[in-house]
Amino acid sequence: MKPLVDPKDFPASRKSLYLNAASVALMYRGAAEAVVEWQEDLAHNGTINFDEIAEEAVFDNLHEAAARLLNVQPDDIAVGTSATELLSSLAWSIAPGPEANVVSTDIVFPSTLYPWARVARHTNCEIRLAKGENGYADPIDIIELIDDNTAVVSISHVEFVAGQRYDLTRISEAAHSHNALFVVDATQSAGMLPIDVQDSLLDVLVTGSYKWLCGPFGVSVMYLAPHLQSKLDPGLVGWRSHKDMWDHRAYRLELPDTAKRFEFSTMAYGCAIGMTRSIEYLLEVGIDRIFTYTRHLADTLSRGLKDLGAEIASPENDGERTAIVTAQFPTKDSATVAQHLAQHQVIVSKRGDFIRFSPHLYNDLGDVQQALELIGDII
Ligand SMILES: Cc1ncc(COP(=O)(O)O)c(C=O)c1O
């Protein structure tokens, strides 16, 4: 199997055995260069080059790239600085009332749930959580919690501990049959696997940039379905929230009738340029190809780990498995194994009692073999 991309596109990929995209992926070289170039230009030229037109173009370009990634329209995309920030603004904009409930899982990443829990402390809505175990939650348990009082179903497309993938269409249909909104955190899936928002019938999708999208910290995007775009009143507002952000008259606020209404402030714009570059790069490689390739790496890793005596927590069936492999060794505690791996430049994450491996497009089968050999030595 040939490597998927030129290692020069990911200079750090030859420095270590980097199997940690689910935490922070290696950044695409073109994205890193864009961040630095923007910062340097600002430092040396102020707003001479980065004028108001350039400032608007940064977000417009990211709207377009993200729209292509998700198969939606640029007007459906808002830019933020983190997934958490966008989800928080969203949760306040919906603010389910005391009769309503929000459905999620108890193994979801905190940022997918905390914003709703915070709103619930204010409005007294109910939070209903499907119970998971070892990073896995049964989708039937999620669906069974949804009823006519459900305002929102908020899940992570791919669960962060064991990499379980949900069938979005299935959960979406269940949510919509009760008139609930379906909100998906795609931070652990965007860039790793194809997402067609139209096919999956999503109402909202949020993703950061620094994991599977191989972009920088400090930027994120949100898809907002057209039926919500002139309806929701964002939880966070600022000067960019106005229809014409250069209007600057503080005594009035007219929100745009697009997803842009969730954009509210300045940011480190170089990060948005970096995310645009990395999305364009991944689209050129092909998200389908990335998914096939990384799952092959993950399957090989999973088989090798099992041969070394590991117990695999990640689902193994075709519909639920991803490029994330989460394992533990009955004979050695995971903290010790992870520490040993780090000493040998094998970069992974410890999550709960498990070690989480997450290869990406810059890895190859040689990396997997080498990691397995080192783990064999340690075990
Ligand atoms: C599912 C999920 N959502 C959100 C985040 C963090 O998002 P951000 O740092 O953009 O707020 C993570 C990070 O691990 C995650 O796994």
Q: Which amino acid is at 326?
A: T
Question: Which residues are CB-contacts of 54 (< 8 A; sequence separation ≥ 6)?
Answer: none
Alpha carbons 203 and 371: distance in angstroms, whole number? 40
Confidence of residue 379 (pLDDT cuts 50, 70, 90): confident
For ligand 1, atom 3, name the residue with the nearest CA: 187
Tell me the average pLDDT across 140-164.
Answer: 98
Average pLDDT over residues 30-56: 97
Query: Rg (Cα) of the chain, in Å, rounded?
Result: 21
Asked whether 229 lines ligand 1 (CB < 6 A), one says no
Query: What is the pLDDT, as a whole number, of residue 157?
Result: 98
Instruction: Tell me if 154 sits within 8 A of 161, measured CB to CB.
Output: no
192 lines ligand 1 (CB under 6 A): no
Q: What is the pLDDT of residue 180?
A: 98
Task: Encode pLDDT of 188-199 as tens digits.
Answer: 999 999 999 998
| pLDDT tier, 14 (very low <50, low <70, confident <90, very high otherwise) | confident
39: confidence class by pLDDT, cuts 50, 70, 90: very high
Kindly report the average pLDDT of the chain as a whole number.
Answer: 96
Rounded Cα gap, residues 369 and 363, in angstroms: 11
pTM, to two decimals: 0.97
Ligand 1 lined by 358 (C-beta under 6 Å) = no
Query: In the predicted model, is pLDDT for residue 70 greater than 80?
Result: yes
Angle at which helix 110-123 crosses helix 83-94, to 10 degrees, equals 30
The pLDDT-based confidence of 378 (bands split at 50, 70, 90) is: confident
Name all domains of the chain by residue range, CATH numbers in brackets: 7-19+287-378 (3.90.1150.10), 31-284 (3.40.640.10)
CA of 205 to the centre of ligand 1 (A): 13
Say yes or no to pLDDT of 2 above 90: no
Given a cut of 90, whether residue 279 has pLDDT beyond it is: yes
Answer whether residue 1 shows pLDDT above 90.
no
* Span 96-120, average pLDDT: 98
